[in-house]
Amino acid sequence: MDASVPVLAFYFAAKGAAYCGWCGLGARLFRPAATNVLGLALGLGALRLLLGLLFGVAIFLGSAFAVAGLDEAGASPTLAMGLAYLGVYVPVRWIEWGIVELLLRAPAPSAGRFLGRFLGGTDRTGRAWRGGGIVISCLADVPLMLAAGGLPIGRFMC
């Protein structure tokens, strides 16, 4: 059996658990009257993992182009990978966690203010929650980074 299979299984399980936990906190913050927080957390955590899979193609292409451009500009490979990770993964994760925040918030923002509130965050609490989600996402990448011996830019990470 390929050694990468257990690493990927652990990666997805750890990331899914982290996402479910963070969505549970979001449910407590944004829906304090919810009676089935566990179900909401599990459902939204699974959705967030799925969003990572769906956005993975954009992340893969964006990070590959960013690394190539930084490499051409003379950046060291380590610097190029670090900047690409931050410059591609963080903004995409802001959008992914924003989708989850919109699903947690009720009622939905008015259509006229929707885009601005979605991109910038609904309020201070929402922005902090999304930022925390990004940190959780990045921390959950650490096992894969350790297994790959560094930032696995150009490889799948959600």
Q: How far apart are CA 81 and CA 68, in angstroms?
A: 9
Provide the pLDDT for residue 16.
95
Provide the pLDDT for residue 1.
43
Q: How far apart are CA 43 and CA 119, in angstroms?
A: 23
Of residues 55 and 76, more confidently modeled: 55
Residue 136 has pLDDT above 90, yes or no: yes
Instruction: Please state, rounded to an integer, the average pLDDT across all residues of the chain.
Output: 83
In this predicted model, what pLDDT tens digit does every residue of 69-124 receive, in sequence order? 777 777 777 777 778 788 888 999 999 999 999 899 866 556 556 677 778 888 89
List of residues 6+ apart from 75 with CB closer than 8 A: 83
Q: Is the pTM of this model over 0.85?
A: no
